C-alpha cells in the first residue's frame, strides 16, 4: 500500500463528489490556495498569528494597513498586546482577575487567557498604530493546537470599529439632544402655563366674586359675567390641553390604571354634557349596560376622553340632531364605547388628517372654537391606557368615534368619584372663633382675590405677606392656623419657606396649602412630597379653595388640641 493510500488527504486538498482524479486534486489544491491567499491578503481585517508565548509569527496585509507596521518589523519581535492601549490592557487584566478569581498579569496573558482555556473570546480594545494614532477594534482570539491537542499559538482576527463607534456616538448625541429638547419644551410649557394661569386666576376669581356678590348682578351684568367666565374657563381648557400634549410627547404624563366602572363613568359624563346638548337642541341617547362592566383605565383620563368625544359630537352636529352612545363587546377582552352623531360627516381625506395636532380640517374660520389638539390628546391618552380609538364617517350622514378599552375584573370595592361640586360653606354662627389664615403671595391681584374670598367667611381673617421672609416672621409671631403659600416667590421660594417652617418647632404643626400656577403633575407631586398639606392650582375655584381651607382648619384643630383654639388678639 502506498503512502498516499495510508493517510487521508489534508482537509484543504479533499474534494467533494466523485472527482478523485489527479486533476481533481490539483484543482482543489489551487482553489484552497486561492482562498487562503485571499484571506491572508485581505485589507478589510487584520490577521495576526502568534506562537504559544504570544510572539507574532504572521502579520497579514490587513494588519499592515490598519496598524502601519510592516510584517518584517513585528514578526518574531513583538506581541499583539504591545499594539493595544496599555491602560485598557491593564483594566482587562484586572477585570479578568476579579471575574475568574485568579491573578492575570497585564500583557498578552490578559488577551489570551480565556482562549487558552478553550473559552470563545471577542473583546473591544483600542489598537495603537505605528505613527501613534489609534482606533477602536473588535478582536476575536482563538487558541491554535496541533494534532495532539497541544497549544502551538493564537490567532487574532481584528476589524476596525471606528465607523460603528462613530455612529454610536452620533446616535447617543442625537438621543441626548432630543432628550434635552424635550426637557426644554416641557420646561417652557410649564413656565408658559404658570405665566398664563397667573393673570387668568385674577380674571376668573374676581368674576366668580362678582357673580355671587351682594347685591346680585343685574341681568345685563350677569350676561357680561357669563361671557367672562365662559371665555376664561375655555382659555384654561386650552392651556390644559397644550400642557397635556407636551407631557404626553415628553413621556412625563403618569396614569393610574385601575379597575373603573364603565357605567359610573358614563353616568358622570352624561351629567356633564346634557345641559350643553339641550342648549343646542341636540338629543342624547345613552345605552344602558345590562351587566356591570369594568375597564382597565385611569378614571380621570377616561372621563376626559369620553367627554371630549361627546362635546365634539354635540358641537359639530346638525341643528335638531342627536348623539347616541353605545357599548358593545368587541371581543372577550375588550368593550367598545361608540359615540355616534348626525353631523355633516367627514371625507376620507379629512379622516386621514383627523389626529394631526392643530389640524381643524378647515374649521378655522367656522363659528366653533378650538385648537385642533383635543382629539390628538384623546388618541394618545387612549393608547397610554392600553386601548384603541378610531372613526367611521360618511359625508352627509354623520360620524362614529369609538374607543376600545380592556375589560378587567370587578374590584372588591367600586367607589364612585366624590362630588366635586360642593356647595359654598355657610357663614359661621355667632360666637364661633375666628380662625387666622396667612397668605404668602407676591402678586397683589392674587392676594386681593383671596382676601375677598375669605372676607365672605365671618369665621376667618386673612393676613398677607408679600414675600417668604416676611411670611415666615408672620407665622412665628401670629401663629396662624393655616398658611396659604405661593411657590414662585421672590428670594426664598415657597418650597424653601416650607422647609424653614417645618424645621421650626413653633411653626412645624401649621398645615401649609400650596396655591400655585405651577400645574404640571410633576410640580404638584413635588410639592406634596415636600410636605404641603394640599396643593391648589390657579385659576382658583372658590368652592375648591374653601373646601381645602376647611380640611386644613380641621387638621389644625386636631394638631393643636382643643385648648389651643382661641380667637386671635
| Domain assignment of residue 394, yes or no | yes
Higher-pLDDT residue of 477, 401: 401
CATH of the domain at 119: 3.30.450.20
54-72: pLDDT as tens digits: 999 999 999 999 999 999 9
| Domain assignment of residue 293, yes or no | yes
Q: Are 93 and 126 contained in the same domain?
A: yes
- Residue 130 confidence class, pLDDT cut points 50, 70, 90: very high
Q: CA 535, CA 214: separation in Å to the nearest integer?
A: 30
Q: Are 361 and 307 contained in the same domain?
A: yes
Q: Are 147 and 235 contained in the same domain?
A: no
Vertex 6, ends 5 and 7: CA angle to 5°? 95
Domain of 467 in residue numbering reads as 435-564
| Domain assignment of residue 8, yes or no | no
CATH of the domain at 547: 3.40.50.2300
Give the list of residues 6+ apart from residue 345 with CB closer than 8 angstroms, or none: 393, 394, 395, 396, 397, 398, 399
Q: What is the mean pLDDT of residues 446-468?
A: 86
Q: Taking 50 as the threshold, does the pLDDT of residue 337 lie above it? A: yes
Q: Are 558 and 444 contained in the same domain?
A: yes
Show the cell assigned to 67: 496598524
User: 121 pairs with which residues across the strands?
Assistant: 141
Q: Are 230 and 334 contained in the same domain?
A: no
Q: Note the helical H segments in 41-101.
A: 61-67, 71-74, 86-100
Phi, psi of 284 (to 5 degrees): -120, 130
Q: Are 139 and 220 contained in the same domain?
A: no
Residues 79 and 122: beta-carbon distance below 8 Å: no
Q: Are 445 and 354 contained in the same domain?
A: no
Q: Are 151 and 78 contained in the same domain?
A: yes
CATH of the domain at 318: 3.30.565.10
Q: Taking 80 as the threshold, does the pLDDT of residue 560 lie above it? A: no
70 sits in which H/E element: none
Q: Is the peptide bond before 215 cis (omega within 30 degrees of 0)?
A: yes
| Domain assignment of residue 2, yes or no | no
Show the cell assigned to 54: 504570544
Q: Are 267 and 395 contained in the same domain?
A: yes
Exposed, middle or buried: residue 113 (CB in 10 Å: 0-12, 13-18, 19+)? buried
Q: Are 126 and 235 contained in the same domain?
A: no
| Domain assignment of residue 3, yes or no | no
Total structural domains in the chain? 4
- Mean pLDDT lowest among 231-235, 333-337, 403-407: 231-235
pLDDT at res. 33: 63
Residues 110 and 104: beta-carbon distance below 8 Å: yes
Q: Are 210 and 269 contained in the same domain?
A: no
Q: Are 464 and 498 contained in the same domain?
A: yes
- Residue in 157, 127, 117, 6 with CA at minimum distance from that of residue 67: 127
Residues 14 and 25: beta-carbon distance below 8 Å: no
Q: CA 265, CA 310: separation in Å to the nearest integer?
A: 13
Residues 166 and 216: beta-carbon distance below 8 Å: no
In Å, what is the CA distance from 411 to each residue of 261, 268, 415, 500? 9, 19, 9, 43
- Residue 6 confidence class, pLDDT cut points 50, 70, 90: very low
| Domain assignment of residue 131, yes or no | yes
**Percentage of residues of the chain with pLDDT beyond 90:** 34
Q: What is the mean pLDDT of residues 186-195?
A: 72
Amino acid at each position: 500500500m502506498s503512502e498516499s493510500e495510508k493517510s487521508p488527504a489534508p482537509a484543504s486538498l479533499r474534494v467533494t463528489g466523485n472527482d478523485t482524479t489527479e486533476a481533481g486534486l490539483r484543482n482543489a489544491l489551487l482553489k484552497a490556495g486561492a482562498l487562503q491567499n485571499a484571506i491572508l491578503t485581505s485589507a478589510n481585517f487584520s490577521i495576526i498569528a502568534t506562537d504559544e508565548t504570544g510572539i507574532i509569527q504572521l502579520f497579514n496585509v490587513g494588519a499592515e494597513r490598519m496598524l502601519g507596521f510592516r510584517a518584517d518589523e513585528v514578526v518574531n519581535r513583538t506581541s499583539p498586546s504591545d499594539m493595544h492601549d496599555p491602560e485598557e490592557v491593564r483594566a482587562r487584566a484586572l477585570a479578568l482577575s476579579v471575574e475568574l478569581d485568579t491573578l492575570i498579569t497585564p500583557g498578552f496573558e490578559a488577551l489570551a487567557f480565556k482562549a487558552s482555556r478553550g473559552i470563545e473570546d471577542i473583546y473591544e480594545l483600542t489598537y495603537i498604530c505605528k505613527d501613534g494614532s489609534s482606533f477602536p477594534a473588535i478582536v476575536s482570539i482563538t487558541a491554535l493546537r496541533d494534532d495532539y491537542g497541544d497549544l502551538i499559538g493564537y490567532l487574532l482576527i481584528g476589524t476596525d470599529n471606528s465607523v460603528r463607534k462613530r455612529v454610536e456616538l452620533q446616535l447617543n448625541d442625537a438621543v441626548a439632544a432630543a432628550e434635552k429638547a424635550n426637557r426644554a419644551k416641557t420646561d417652557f410649557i410649564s413656565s408658559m402655563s404658570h405665566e398664563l394661569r397667573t393673570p387668568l386666576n385674577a380674571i376668573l376669581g374676581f368674576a366668580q366674586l362678582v357673580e355671587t356678590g351682594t347685591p346680585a348682578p343685574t341681568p345685563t351684568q350677569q350676561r357680561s359675567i357669563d361671557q367672562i367666565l365662559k371665555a376664561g374657563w375655555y382659555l384654561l381648557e386650552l392651556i390644559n390641553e397644550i400642557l397635556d400634549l407636551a407631557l404626553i410627547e415628553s413621556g412625563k404624563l403618569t396614569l393610574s390604571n385601575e379597575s373603573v366602572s364603565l357605567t359610573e363613568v358614563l353616568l358622570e359624563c352624561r351629567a356633564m354634557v346634557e345641559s350643553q346638548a339641550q342648549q343646542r337642541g341636540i338629543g342624547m341617547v345613552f345605552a344602558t349596560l345590562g351587566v356591570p362592566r369594568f375597564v382597565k383605565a385611569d378614571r380621570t383620563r377616561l372621563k376626559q376622553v369620553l367627554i371630549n368625544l361627546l362635546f365634539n359630537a354635540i358641537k359639530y352636529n346638525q341643528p335638531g340632531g342627536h348623539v347616541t352612545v353605545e357599548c358593545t363587546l368587541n371581543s372577550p377582552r375588550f368593550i367598545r364605547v361608540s359615540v355616534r352623531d348626525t353631523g355633516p360627516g367627514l371625507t376620507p381625506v379629512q379622516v386621514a388628517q383627523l389626529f394631526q395636532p392643530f389640524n381643524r380640517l378647515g374649521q378655522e374660520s367656522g363659528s366653533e372654537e378650538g385648537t385642533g389638539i383635543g382629539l390628538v390628546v384623546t388618541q394618545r391618552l387612549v393608547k397610554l391606557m392600553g386601548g384603541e380609538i378610531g372613526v367611521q364617517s360618511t359625508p352627509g350622514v354623520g360620524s362614529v368615534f369609538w374607543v376600545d378599552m380592556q375589560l378587567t375584573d370587578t374590584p372588591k370595592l367600586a367607589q364612585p368619584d366624590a362630588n366635586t361640586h360642593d356647595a359654598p360653606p355657610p357663614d359661621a354662627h355667632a360666637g364661633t372663633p375666628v380662625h387666622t389664615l396667612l397668605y404668602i403671595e407676591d402678586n397683589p391681584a392674587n392676594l386681593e382675590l383671596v382676601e375677598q374670598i375669605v372676607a365672605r367667611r365671618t369665621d376667618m381673617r386673612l393676613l398677607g405677606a408679600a414675600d417668604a421672609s416676611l411670611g415666615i416672621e408672620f407665622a412665628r409671631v401670629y401663629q396662624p392656623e393655616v398658611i396659604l403659600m405661593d411657590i414662585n416667590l421672590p428670594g426664598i421660594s415657597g418650597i424653601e419657606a416650607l422647609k424653614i417652617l417645618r424645621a421650626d418647632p413653633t411653626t412645624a404643626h401649621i398645615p401649609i396649602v400650596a396655591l400655585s400656577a405651577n400645574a404640571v403633575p410633576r410640580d404638584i407631586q413635588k410639592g406634596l412630597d415636600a410636605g404641603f398639606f394640599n396643593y391648589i392650582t390657579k385659576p382658583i375655584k372658590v368652592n375648591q379653595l374653601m373646601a381645602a381651607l376647611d380640611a386644613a382648619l380641621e387638621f389644625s384643630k386636631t394638631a393643636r388640641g382643643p385648648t389651643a383654639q382661641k380667637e386671635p388678639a
